Structure 1
Amino acid sequence: MRIARTIGTVTLSRSHPALAAAKLRCIEMLDSIDRVDEQPLGGDTVVAWDLCSTGLGDLVAVAEGPESAQPFRPDIKPLDATIVALLDNIEL
């Protein structure tokens, strides 16, 4: 699981049927915890399925790889990243 910030919304004109009613967000991955308060975060930009109804600028936890599709089992979803939690506070 990684930390990211939502930076936009993705709208599809055509999509795979498994993505019907999907809320997709554009997120920027956190590349170093030292940069959590900075804009931009400095990491890669990724499109992720939004399970948490996030807003722009929210810090989120992101599941990647095969784990990102686990909440949808037994359905098969063509996902590589899913927003699974909103982060209110990060304390180290």
Structure 2
Amino acid sequence: MRIVEVIGRVTLSRAHPSLLGARFPIVRPMPLAALRDGAPDRGEELVAYDRLGVDVGGLVGLSEGGEAANPFGKTLTPVDAYCACLIDRISF
């Protein structure tokens, strides 16, 4: 799981039936230096699947790859990145 910052949102006019009702935030990975010291270096942006209601500027725990499909059980869902948790606070 990686910590990412929500920087935007994707709007779909059509979606796969298994994705209806979800939101798709644009997120950017936050390396340790960015979290601890506010360093400007960030990772490459990606689009994630969200049912938690994340907001722009919020921090999220992101699951990727095979782990991202686990919340759906045996239902085949075309998801490669999943917002797994909302992060309120980080302490070092």
TM-score by length of 1: 0.88
Matched with 2:63 is 63
CA apart distance, 1:14:
2.1
Cα 1:82–1:3 shift into 2, 3 Å:
same
Q: Does the 8 A contact of 1:29 with 1:41 survive in 2?
A: no
Cα 1:3–1:12 shift into 2, 3 Å:
same
Supply the AA of the counterpart residue of 1:35: A
Matched with 2:52 is 52
Cα 1:41–1:58 shift into 2, 3 Å:
farther
Q: Does the 8 A contact of 1:5 with 1:57 survive in 2?
A: yes
| Deviating 4+ runs (over 6 angstroms) | none
User: What CA distance in whole angstroms lies between the structure 1 residues aligned with 2:62 and 2:42?
Assistant: 16
Matched with 1:9 is 9
Q: Give the percent of matched residue pairs that are identical in Structure 1 and Structure 2.
A: 38
TM-score by length of 2: 0.88
Q: Does the 8 A contact of 1:28 with 1:41 survive in 2?
A: no
Q: Does the 8 A contact of 2:33 with 2:39 survive in 1?
A: no
Structure with higher strand content: 1
Q: What SS does structure 1 have at the residue aligned with 2:14?
A: coil
- Residues 8-17 or 76-85, more deviating: 8-17
User: What CA distance in whole angstroms lies between the structure 1 residues aligned with 2:41 and 2:67?
Assistant: 24
The answer to whether the aligner puts 1:43 opposite 2:29 as a matched pair is: no
User: What CA distance in whole angstroms lies between the structure 2 residues aligned with 1:40 and 1:2?
Assistant: 17
Count of equivalent residues: 91
